[in-house]
Chain A
């Protein structure tokens, strides 16, 4: 089952920031693959959603970039800035609380692993 994009839209920034806290630096394609791998293909981030998000994170100073030249191509590696690290913690906590609230609101029984 793939989740609809509407469900992902509000959480994409948090997903990317959280991934970057666990990996020193990542590039766009790598992020999409990592998300697919971690979610068993249930979440597939589209390029149309990922790159605008990365652009916004960079403009907000939450991520910094380093470039690597591969022949005529340029690969942009994203890593968290100090303010990005702080924001990631806040965003993850906020999302966790939101999910807890949704669980109680919808009266969902969570799976215990």
Chain B
């Protein structure tokens, strides 16, 4: 067993950074782990480069930076909120139709004394037109094959939802 010199440790640290590892904690972990393995295998100081090249290869399949990519993926994975069909449609409905329904309700309350339970077309018309958007979105989601559903990212679902609206606007 041979203890690595400061220059050799600096070389490894620099090479780890050069290979795309930017997370400081991960750099430290890899540096320590690689140093331990090299020190175990190194008999003569002049073999350092050969042993290092052999050791570093065992850390990855294609590139060392895949370790950092996996680390970032694992952290992000748990924090992504992927909406199911039910909550997605509910939120969409509340955002797009909620204000119109609230407006209709307020109009009814304010004008109850004058008109009774009558709601003019110019008031409910907008609610009806905008209700088509989430309903069409629901149709798109319902007709998306179940096996594809988990593969559709949240943002794409919103885009899929917007597509029918764009078509309506273009036709109009």
Binary flags per residue of A56-76, CB closer than 8 Å to B gives 1, else 0: 101110000101001111111
Chain B residues with a Cβ closer than 8 Å to the other chain, count: 28
> Number of residue pairs across A and B with beta carbons under 8 Å?
72
Is B6 touching A58 in the complex (CB atoms < 8 A)? Answer: no
Query: Which residue of A has the minimal Cβ distance to B21?
Result: A51
B36 → chain A, closest Cβ, in Å? 5
Query: Which residue of A has the minimal Cβ distance to B34?
Result: A47
Binary flags per residue of B21-63, CB closer than 8 Å to A gives 1, else 0: 0010110111111011100000000000000000000111100
Is A76 touching B32 in the complex (CB atoms < 8 A)? Answer: yes
B136 → chain A, closest Cβ, in Å? 38
The contact of A55 among B6, B25, B31, B32, by CB within 8 Å, is B25
Question: A48 within 8 Å of B by Cβ?
Answer: yes
Considering the chains assembled together, what is the distance between the CA atoms of A73 and B28 in angstroms?
A: 7
B70 → chain A, closest Cβ, in Å? 4
Whether A48 touches B60, Cβ cut-off 8 Å, given contacts A54-B29, A55-B25, is yes
Instruction: Name the interface size band of chain A.
Output: 20 to 34
Q: Which of B29, B59, B60 has the most CB of A within 10 A?
A: B29
What are the residues of chain B within 8 A of A98 when measuring CB–CB?
A: none
Q: Which of B23, B32, B59, B60 has the most CB of A within 10 A?
A: B32
A93 → chain B, closest Cβ, in Å? 20
Considering the chains assembled together, what is the distance between the CA atoms of A28 and B33 in angstroms?
A: 7
Question: B10 within 8 Å of A by Cβ?
Answer: yes
What are the residues of chain A within 8 A of B28 when measuring CB–CB?
A: 67, 73-76
Considering the chains assembled together, what is the distance between the CA atoms of A109 and B168 in angstroms?
A: 62
The contact of A51 among B29, B35, B37, by CB within 8 Å, is B29
A28 → chain B, closest Cβ, in Å? 5
Report A's interface with B, CB cutoff 8 A: 27-29, 46-49, 51-56, 58-60, 65, 67, 70-76
A-B contacts, 8 listed (Cβ < 8 Å)? A27-B32, A28-B32, A29-B36, A51-B33, A52-B71, A52-B74, A70-B32, A74-B31
